[in-house]
Structures are given as C-alpha cells and as structure tokens.
Chains A and B, each alone.
Chain A
C-alpha cells in the first residue's frame, strides 16, 4: 500500500480528487481530461452500477434508476423536512430505512445513502490508482462545514464501505483556506464563501503562518446550485404547462431533460447575457409532439434566484458577527464552489465584503487540493500545520422537562470535550438513558437528536446516589462520542449507543465485504467510447 493520501471533495453534484506528490499538489484527471466527476450513480437491472459522466449521460433514458444529489440525503433523518423537500425534486424513489434513515429504492433493492457515496468513492479511488499507478487506501474526505454529526458519520461510513481508511473528515471551507494559505507564510483573516451544488458554507479563518484557526462558521446544507436549477425548472415548466396545458412534473424523462437543460443554461449565463433552452419533442399531446424552446436572459435568472443569494449574504453577516469581526478586518475573501461563477454572486459578495474576491483559488478544485495537503501533512513525522477547526452546532443533552442543556457551544474549537454528571431517579435503577442533541434551541424537540446512549450496569444504589460522569467528546472530524465513568468507583462505565440514525456496525461490515470486489466500470466504458 502506498503512502499517498487522496484529498476527496465529495460534492453534491460534482466530486474532485487531488494528491500531494513530493510537496507538489495536483488534481487527478480522468480519461478524457475531466478534472471533476459528476456525483451520479446509475443502476442496471442486474444490479451493476455506473458512476460519473457515463451515469449522467444516460440519466435521461433511465431517470428512475439514476441517483444524483445523494449528498442532500446523507446522514439525515427520514422524517425531517429536508428529506421531504429533497425527495420532491428527484425522480428516484426514497423510502424509510431501519435506522430512520432514508434509503433509495431501485429494482426492489434499498440502497443506503452511504452505499451510494461509497460507489462514488470507489470510482474516485480507481481513477486515482490509475493516475498514480499505486494502490491507495488512505483518504481525507471533505464535508460542508455546516454538516451535523450524523452527516459526518455517514460520510465516514461511506469511506469504510468503499474500503478506504478515512484519516480525517475536514470542512470544505477550511480545506479551501489550506489550499490558499499553505506554505505562503501569511498572517491574514479570510472569509471563505463556499456555494456549491447543494450546500452553502461561510467560514471566517485567522491564518497565522502555519496555524489555521477557524473563528466562526455558518451555512445552510440545503442551499446550492441544485436550488438555482430548480428555480429555472419551475419557471420554464410553468410557462410550458400554461402554453400546452400539459403537466411535465409527472413525466420523469421530460423532467430529467429539462433539468439538464436548466443546469446548462445556468452555467452559460455566467458568461453570456442570453441563452436558449431548446428541447424538441419534450412531450406528446394527442399524438402530437410538443417542443420547448425559449430564451432565458441573465436578468431573468437573477430575478428568479436573487433571494437565494441574499440568503447567503445574511448568513455571511451572522458568521462575521459570531467571529466578532467587521468587514474591514477581513483581508481576503475566497470564492469556492461552482455557483460562485455566477456574476450576481460575485457582485453581491464584493459589495458585502467591500473587496474584490481573491483570484488565485480554483472554485472547483481548491477544496480537494486542501484536503490533499491536509492528508499529506498528517502523514509526516510531525504535522507542520495545525488546523483549529470548530463545531458548527452546539452540543447538548435532554434534561427534565424536555429542555436542552448545552454542554459545548457552537464555534468551539475541536477536538473538545465536556462532561455531565448523571444519576438515578429510582432506588436500584440499573440504567440511565441519555439523549444527545445538536442545535441551538432551548427545547429538546427543536434540536436534532444525534443519538441515544444508555448507561448500563449501574451498581444497585438508592435513588440519586450514583454519580456517573459522562464525557461527550467531539473529535477532529466533528464526530461525537460518549464515554462514562463512575465517580465513586472510578470505573469506566459501559455505554451503549441505542439509536443513531446511521448504519449499524454489522451492516457496515456486510456492505464493505459486498462491495470489496465490485469494479467501477466507467474506466472500462470510457476506453470503449
């Protein structure tokens, strides 16, 4: 096994992989010169899968069996409002899994979301192994800074299923900052504005030569390029439907074609003022073909999506406030993510931060590059840089009366830990259930339930007598763990995770074994074409 560590930007719509070779960091290209890979997985009737460009290309004719934007579902609770929203706009079927997690149903088989991501990771691994002529098993994977514990855990699980050792889950804006400031000997306060395919993050960092300290982070994991596309789709579909009185919302193939066209139009409008959406034979009505053909002006797009951009600016303002800085104290602004190519985004960011964004970061590649740098530094004898990242949410526990008691404040530097002493309420009680919450609300129900832990084998004592210190730690990956100690006997107390909306260990092992020998097929397919 080689010492290469891949830096993987596992994006909602596109993924990117980079590696550091002797202090030189580069993005690994696929056959055909592509530097990014569509995060799309398609399934065939025999259960085999396709990943990347080939999957994206066949999506129109196989919409129901093509999974894209799975990142919007990863690590989420099936009954949450975000899953409901995501499900509405995708052609594939989403059902509830055993751990209240969403699963994608294709050819009667339910795929967990980490499995889908694992397929993408396996593809990336194959691309890298071909490019580097070496076996690879170590990776650093990036996630949006605003990802919760469950989403991070699920991403880590995906790496495990793909047979990879995930050295670190790192925040995308932090990785981009690393790509920007590594070995540049700078002392700067920077803002990283990361508007990608599915998520928006803003992080404020203080770079002091080789220490990267995140001062504050904020974001929205449901605001990205996909939402811009959806606005165009809705707008075009509405006018089409009122013209022909046909609904295309139920026609999955037509919708898929429209989705591709909307994305293409959006990208073109970053450089052109006007573009044409031309979809001949989109639907048929009474055996007569209907075509969709209309022009879309940049101003129209800006009108359709202006409020999304305003929302990102509002989040920027709150992040600055949390960092206790004002705009004039920010030395540089980095734009990361494909959506930042949109002229209105650049203009609004420039207006808000009162400075022209830095030009020397590649919006699609900076995150993967930063992850590769981090991976390489972790492998060194002594890490030459330190990342002082933060947790984006407060961590609390449910206390009597349905309230949440915060133990770790949001924007605390990680790794960190906090303790809380638990006791029993009845005589002879042998176990205590602990609910761990993530979020800022004082009411337990308004926060995300991370998981339930149960303290077991408590020695038989009167109510209130046991004193069990439970320590909650957030590791460098932003993942929460709990450990318990009996303060009287000084013994470690066993703690059992009774519910966490991620895969169980058994299922993870099973899936890892199953996918061990499956070969990614785009490499083969690309050679053929």
Chain B
C-alpha cells in the first residue's frame, strides 16, 4: 500500500458517503459510523465525529463499506454561476416565468441572465431556512470561515454592486436577499446567539427524529452508545499496558457509565483502582510538600495529607509527614494515630533518626517519658550527631 492514509482522506473528503441499507453483522463501532451517515455525509464531516484516530476510522469505514451497500458519490454542490453556463440546469417554473417576463424588458438585458437567475434562486428560497442554510454553509464552520462566506455572498448580492445598472424589478429582490444574508450573519457572528440557535436546532432535529416512524434510529442511538463504550474500554486497555493507569481508569469509568451492566468494565476498574490510588496519593503528597515550603503546616494541607494516606496506606512518607503535622499542630487527640504511623515509618526509614525523634515527641505528649528517652537513645545510636534528638534528651534528663 504505497498510498498514505492522508492522501486517501484528502482525495475523498468532499465525497458523500451514502448507506441506505444495512445488515446485522456490524461491530458496535461500525454501527456507530453507520448511524452517523444518515442520509449521506461528507468524509471530512464524518471523521471529526468519530472518537477514533483518523486512520482507524478510515479502516472501519472501509470494512463498513464492504459489509453494506454504502458507497461514495459526488455531492450536488451549491450552485455557482459558472455551473449555469456549463450545464442547462432545470429551472423552477417561478424562475422561468420571471425570465420570460424579463425578455420583454429591454432595460434588463443590461443585467447578466445568470446573475438574474442567481438572484431569483436566492430570492425564492423557502422562508423557513435556518441562517446556516441562508449562508450556504455547514453548521460547524469557524467564525473566520463564516465571515469569509458572508463577505463572498455580500460581494455577490450587495445592491451597490450594480449601482449603475437599471435593476428594475430586481432592485427590491436584491435588497431583500441582501437583508436576509446580512441578518443571518448578524445572528451567527454573535457567539451567544449562535450557540442558542445551535441548541434549538439540535432540539428540533431530536423532536423530528422522535416523531418519525423510523424506529431504526432508536436502535442506532443504542448501538452508538455501545460502540462508544467498547471503544473507551479498548483504548483504556492499551493505556493500562503503557502503565498510564489514570488515563485507563478514566476511560473505564466512562465505559461503565455508558454500559453499567458489563462485568468486564467493572473488573478492569477494580484492577486499576489501587494503582490509580497510589498515583493519586503520590501526587497529593508532592503537592502538599510543595505548598508546605510556602505556607508551613496548615489544617488544609493536613486534610490533603490525610486523603493521601487514605488512598495509599503503604505510602510511608505521607504517614511520616502526617505524624509530624499532628505534632506540629498539636492535635493531641490524634497522638495515638501518630504513634502508630511513626512506628511503621521507623521500620521503613530504619537508617534515619528522624522517626525516633518524632516518636519520642509523641511519647512525651502521651506522658511516656521513659519510652521517649529510649527512642531518642535508639535514634542517636543510628546518628549520634542528630541535633534535635540531643537537645530533647538533655531536656528530658533535666526533668
């Protein structure tokens, strides 16, 4: 296959994909794509709505085409004046009637016939077109594209364009066409109004779908969901392999939210949850350590740290830090917890005298001066120069 995927997409991005019939052997993903096609969709519009990378989407489309009678076809483009010249497009009776009348008016021969057809076509458009249709533009265009299209249409239909020519009955028509274009743009260029319009339009299509007897659409919604859930799960598995547990976890959560009955999603979730908790605990600890440098021990940081310990009870550094917090903030009622945590930390940090020192302070708090002395001495055996331990030992001796 020498041809790259990119060129394959580029070549077909303006073609229309049509799929009228279907059979039942489709995978959930193919169902999803199929449901997006509807009455026909351009490839460039289809790819962004699919949740997979373009390359994968294309492969899925290919397999969908092989399974269904879906096919590519050339879409009927929005008419431009040049096309009129090339082909004899069938004109509506209204337009033909006006053109015949024009023949009698010698002044109008000044105005290009093709342009008259364009004005009439635009003028006779149904009144209930939405602003996108009036501007002959897709509903997903960027503001820049919107502006360009507006300016292009304005240049074509602005009444000033043929200021010198006698427009006759075309003058009010041109005015009204321009007003429509300008009002449609006025609405769409305002992001708030455009969003509101998009919302109502979505609502209307939903309603229309509900009303329509095509039950298959309901099924499509379901298959679309299943397809999405499955896709999330599979992507999650890949991330898990790459040790991105948080990413995998999020995808599994999304999958199980869409389809809560599927056991695989749940087991996957249970499998990665401890790993995710570990990572979260480490992240929490890091952030606490960073803020600690700035603010010193505070109750908020204490709460954060407790969360970290809850998430991962084996994270000794967090436990050690939490114990220190308890001592520094004098949470006397938590001293017993601190003692336990420090005893555990002592075993993991067996070489440092810090754990012994803080344990001693807890023991003093718990009125066990004897135990405290013992701890300090043990610590000083590991590190005879530990200044805090030495000081505290002095104090204890004096008591």
Q: Which residues of A contact B (CB under 8 A)?
A: 167, 208, 210-211, 213, 324, 378-383, 386-388, 412-413, 415-417, 473, 476
Contact = CB atoms under 8 A, between A and B. Distances in A.
A382 B161 contact: yes
A387 B176 contact: no
A383 B163 contact: yes
B36 interface: no
B155 A211 contact: yes
Interface of B: 147, 151, 154-155, 158-164, 175-176, 178-179, 182-183, 185-186, 190
B178 A386 contact: no
B159 A379 contact: no
A417 B158 contact: no
A413 B182 contact: yes
A417 B176 CA distance: 7
A415 B161 contact: no
A378 B160 contact: yes
A46 B38 CA distance: 84
B159 A417 contact: no
A379 B160 CA distance: 10
A415 B164 contact: no
Contacts of B154: 211, 386, 388
A340 B88 CA distance: 59
A415 B155 contact: no
Contacts of B162: 382-383
A211 B164 CA distance: 19
A382 B165 CA distance: 9
Nearest to A382: B161
13 contacts: A208-B147, A211-B151, A211-B154, A381-B164, A382-B162, A383-B160, A383-B163, A386-B161, A388-B154, A415-B175, A415-B178, A416-B183, A417-B179
A390 B124 CA distance: 26
Contacts of B179: 415-417
Across chains A and B, which 7 residue pairs bring their CB atoms closest together, nearest first? A378-B163, A413-B182, A211-B151, A386-B158, A383-B160, A416-B179, A417-B179
Contacts of A382: 161-162
B186 A417 contact: no
A515 to B, nearest CB: 27
A324 B155 CA distance: 24
Contacts of B178: 415
Nearest to B178: A415
Contacts of B161: 382-383, 386
B160 A386 contact: yes
Nearest to A417: B179
A128 to B, nearest CB: 21
Given A412-B186, A415-B178, A417-B175, A387 B147 contact: no
Contacts of B164: 378-381
A191 to B, nearest CB: 19
A167 B160 CA distance: 11
Contacts of A324: 190
B176 A476 contact: no
Nearest to B192: A324
